Amino acid sequence: MTPVKVLAATAIVAMSLLARQGAAQTAAADSSPWSFTFAPYGWLTFISGSQTVAGQTTAVNTNAFEMFAQSQSLITFMAYAEARYQDRLGLFVDVMYANLTAGQSATRGFFLPGISGSAVSSVSVNYETLTLQFGGAYEVVKVGPDRGGEGPGMAGVGQTAFDVTLGGRWWYQRVDMTLNFFGSVTVNTPNLQLSANRSQVFANSGSIGWVDPFIGFRVRHHLAPGQRITLEADMGGFGIGSRISAEAQLAYSLEFGNAIGVNWAGVIGYRALYVDYTQGSGSSFFQLNQLQHGPLIGVRGRF
């Protein structure tokens, strides 16, 4: 055998060994009992209810679009992460943070015979909120036939898994509100001249935090290759933190590619979150009775 043929045969054997090694590594990675998911997302909320800070109650009726339009600054961060073992036991954390600054001012003048004046007022509000959900999920049962023998990507298609979830929801809120008022009045009559000015600044700030335990369920359905539907709901508070807090979410995910060893998917869905919490009395009374709901959209990476 010539040296060229020997080198060619050696190269073929080496490439074959490398291919087998790569396949073995891929199979080993696929057979790993652990999987990890990270999903940044945006939640376009509609908010209704009421909030009381230091005994002062304000009705809340707004949405994400109005907050973007009226805010001087708006910083948000939302992300979900979960680690699953053998696709049966999951540990998860969900972070929702927002910091909103808004302001408004108004000027009004008036004139009556012998009397003139003006009033100027401005209000600025800084609203910071953080909701951190954490807990675990355990698969109780999985129903449906395993269609893995029908071809690539068919493993698990058509199956539905039912999980029980248990965890906590930590709420933190801080509200800073400042009101400035300036008014002037001038009175001119044949026998009297009077000018009065008054300036007043009212500032109100408060922060509060509490933890709600919750229990719930999750339904995971493998709709088609690369397509999944997830329904989950929970209820918590039970008077330990809030009087009641509840959440429900429906999401659909569609895989669109694999890069840097991560399986990527787009996620769309709808989410609702309700809480009724009270604390203190009199001037220190705090209450949050609020429903947030709206569509969500995100990207999920799984590896």
Distance between CA atoms of 302 and 136, rounded to whole angstroms?
A: 18
Distance CA 199, CA 5 (A): 97
- pLDDT in the model for residue 21: 43
Kindly tell me if the per-residue pLDDT of 31 is higher than 70: no
DSSP 110-150: EEETTEEEEEEEEEEEEEEEEEEEEEEEEEEEEES---GGG
Q: How confident is the model at residue 17 (pLDDT cuts 50, 70, 90)?
A: very low
Alpha-carbon Rg for the chain, nearest whole angstrom, is: 30
Give the mean model confidence (pLDDT) for residues 253-275. 95
- C-beta of residue 41 within 8 angstroms of C-beta of residue 79: yes
pLDDT of residue 5: 46
The reported pLDDT for the residue numbered 25 is 41
Residue-level pLDDT at 203: 47
Cα 219–Cα 224–Cα 230 angle in degrees, nearest 5? 20
> Degrees (nearest 5) of the Cα angle 251, 257, 262?
85
Mean pLDDT lowest among 58-62, 76-80, 93-97: 58-62
What's the rounded mean pLDDT across residues 256-273? 94
Contact predicate 103/121, CB 8 Å: no
Strands 89-112 and 262-279: unpaired
**Looking at the predicted structure, is the pLDDT value of residue 24 above 70?**
no
The Cα 254–Cα 302 span in angstroms is 12
User: What local confidence, expressed as pLDDT, does residue 278 receive?
Assistant: 92
- pLDDT tens, 174-204? 877 665 656 655 555 555 444 444 454 444 5
Residue 100 corresponds to which tokens in the numbers above?
A: 């909103």
pTM as predicted: 0.75
Model pLDDT, residue 120: 55
The predicted-structure confidence for 105-131, as pLDDT tens digits, reads as follows 555 554 545 555 655 566 566 778 999
Question: Between 174 and 292, whose confidence is greater?
Answer: 292
